[in-house]
């Protein structure tokens, strides 16, 4: 049975977590403190577009060169898609998302409060201190929404649950070569973390069968924010290739390592700052290149496919240097941009197919 058929629908999850006494927060991509939300009795449901929503209503509020994630999420909000949630959290992943937070709060004025989380662009002590202060500020907003202030036991329970789910995600990636899952099923499972509870995600991850992976051929590593639509994976498989690793914001970039700090805010900050390097956090190019090289080598990836949502500035800034350094290391790179929709364009597929042919 395809993994998608095993997943509980978001509406049913919202009802269930409400039954557990939690309120629901729509969260835009992509770094945010899950344990904090849980300790404050909030449940995140992430919004990455969605791809099937028209851009029209979002386009009325942003420049033509704004990415589809922001345009479609705004359309989704204005079409009532976020009506069931109690708050909207927009992390400062990029200027476009920061702009969305401002436009939404100041002009669109939904009934739900719009929360922000300003993420630092570095890992210095000052960045850590800034992030801790931001998390404390966000916690104050969360307390107002849920009416709950966590005690020590709440924090302990939240860390135990969310860190177990983080470990389950890390384990999924470690077990990837042994999982009898298509690329589409693997990424459906990974991305179910965007809306499932930590417990449900852990259970799903543990239940995935091991055996011979169905896909074979040229191994690709995928980089970017999000690989949409999931049909992309089927098309890649048809070309005689498969995805052996990723550097996706909706995937491996959120494999957060555990931290040991006793203060909950310091602990969350340490986790958020220790995840794999990515351009939205201002990671130095040397760190990104080293991480990509190492993961490509370990996974046996023969080429890097950078699959970017059109107009995604943080990703685009790094492309020339990534191409240069990886080419110097003998690692082929293809960069394609896509517009988020329900199908992958023929032009994009032709480029990927040609890239696969050069690697065969």
Identify which of residues 51 and 240 has a Cβ nearer to other proteins in the complex. 240
Q: Which is nearer to other proteins, 174 or 345 (CB)?
A: 345
DSSP one-letter string for 320-333: HHHHHHHHHTT--E
Angstrom CA distances, 11 to 16, 81, 149, 195, 307, stand at 9, 11, 26, 10, 30
- 245 or 349: whose CB is closer to other proteins? 349
Question: Closer CB to other proteins, residue 294 or residue 360?
Answer: 360
Which residues are CB-neighbours of 192 under 8 A, at least 6 positions away? 3, 7, 200, 201, 204
Tell me how far apart the alpha carbons of residues 287 and 297 are, in angstroms, rounded to a whole number.
Answer: 15
**Cβ nearer to other proteins, comparing 109 with 346:** 346
Summarize as ranges the residues that interact with other proteins (CB under 8 A).
Answer: 327, 332, 346-347, 350-351, 353-354, 357-358
To other proteins, the closest distance from the beta carbon of 350 in angstroms equals 6
Residue 304: phi and psi, rounded to 5, are -110, 120
Helical H segments across the chain, by residue range: 3-6, 10-19, 34-39, 56-59, 68-78, 95-103, 125-146, 152-175, 183-191, 198-207, 231-238, 264-273, 285-299, 313-328, 346-359
Least distance from other proteins to the Cβ atom of residue 205, Å: 36
Nearer to other proteins (CB atom), residue 119 or residue 305:
305
Determine the Cα–Cα distance for residues 189 and 186; give it in Å rounded to an integer.
5
Q: How far is the CB of 320 from other proteins (least distance, A)?
A: 9
In the complex, what is the shortest distance from the CB of residue 346 to other proteins, in angstroms, rounded to a whole number?
Answer: 7
Question: CB of residue 328 vs other proteins: minimum separation in angstroms?
Answer: 12
- Angle of helix 95-103 relative to helix 68-78, nearest 10 degrees, comes to 20
Judged by beta carbon, residue 294 or residue 358, the one nearer other proteins is 358
Q: For the CB of residue 105, give the shortest distance to other proteins in the complex, in Å.
A: 34
Q: Identify which of residues 67 and 145 has a Cβ nearer to other proteins in the complex.
A: 67
For the bound state, the minimum distance from the C-beta of residue 334 to other proteins, rounded and expressed in Å, comes to 8
We find the least distance from the C-beta atom of residue 354 to other proteins, in angstroms, to be: 4
* Contacts made by residues 44-48, CB under 8 angstroms, sequence distance 24+: 44/89, 44/195, 45/10, 45/13, 45/14, 45/85, 45/194, 45/195, 46/194, 46/195, 47/73, 47/76, 47/81, 47/82, 48/73, 48/194, 48/226, 48/228, 48/250
Copy the structure tokens of residue 144.
């107002």
Selection from 160, 158, 188 nearest residue 172 by Cα: 188
Q: How far is the CB of 265 from other proteins (least distance, A)?
A: 45
Nearer to other proteins, 110 or 240 (CB): 240
CB of 216 to other proteins, least distance (A): 18
CA 239 to chain centre: 26
Given a contact cutoff of 8 angstroms between Cβ atoms, the answer to whether 169 and 205 are in contact is: yes
Closer by beta carbon to other proteins, 123 or else 236: 236
* Residue 350: HSE in the Cβ half-sphere, 13 Å Cα cutoff: 3
């Amino acid at each position: 049975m395809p993994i998608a058929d095993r997943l509980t629908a978001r509406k049913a999850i919202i009802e269930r977590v409400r039954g557990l006494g939690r309120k629901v927060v729509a969260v835009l991509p992509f770094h945010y403190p899950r344990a904090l939300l849980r300790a404050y009795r909030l449940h995140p449901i992430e919004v990455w577009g969605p791809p099937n929503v028209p851009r029209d209503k979002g386009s009325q509020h942003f420049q033509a060169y704004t990415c589809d994630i922001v345009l479609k999420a705004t359309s989704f909000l204005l079409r009532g898609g976020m009506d069931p949630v109690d708050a909207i959290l927009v992390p400062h992943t990029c200027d476009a998302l920061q702009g969305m937070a401002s436009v939404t709060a100041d002009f669109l004025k939904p009934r739900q409060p719009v929360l922000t989380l300003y993420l630092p662009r570095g890992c210095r002590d000052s960045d850590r201190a800034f992030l801790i202060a931001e998390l404390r500020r966000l916690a104050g907003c969360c307390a107002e929404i849920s009416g709950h202030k966590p005690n020590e036991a709440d924090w302990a329970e939240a860390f135990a649950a969310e860190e177990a789910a983080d470990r389950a995600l890390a384990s999924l990636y470690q077990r990837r070569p042994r999982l009898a899952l298509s690329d589409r099923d693997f990424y459906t499972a990974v991305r179910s973390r965007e809306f499932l509870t930590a417990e449900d995600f852990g259970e799903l991850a543990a239940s995935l069968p091991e055996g011979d992976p169905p896909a074979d051929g040229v191994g690709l590593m995928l980089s970017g924010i999000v690989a949409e639509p999931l049909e992309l994976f089927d098309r890649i498989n048809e070309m005689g290739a498969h995805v052996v690793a990723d550097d996706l914001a909706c995937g491996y970039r959120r494999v957060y390592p555990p931290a040991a700090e006793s203060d909950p805010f310091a602990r969350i900050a340490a986790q958020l700052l220790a995840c794999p390097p990515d351009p939205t956090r201002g990671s130095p190019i040397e760190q990104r290149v080293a991480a990509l090289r190492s993961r490509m080598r370990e996974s046996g990836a023969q080429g890097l496919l950078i699959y970017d949502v059109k107009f995604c500035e943080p990703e685009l800034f790094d492309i020339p240097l990534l191409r240069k350094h990886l080419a110097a290391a003998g690692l082929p790179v293809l960069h394609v941009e896509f517009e988020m929709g329900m199908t992958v364009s023929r032009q994009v597929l032709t480029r990927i197919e040609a890239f696969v042919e050069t690697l065969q």
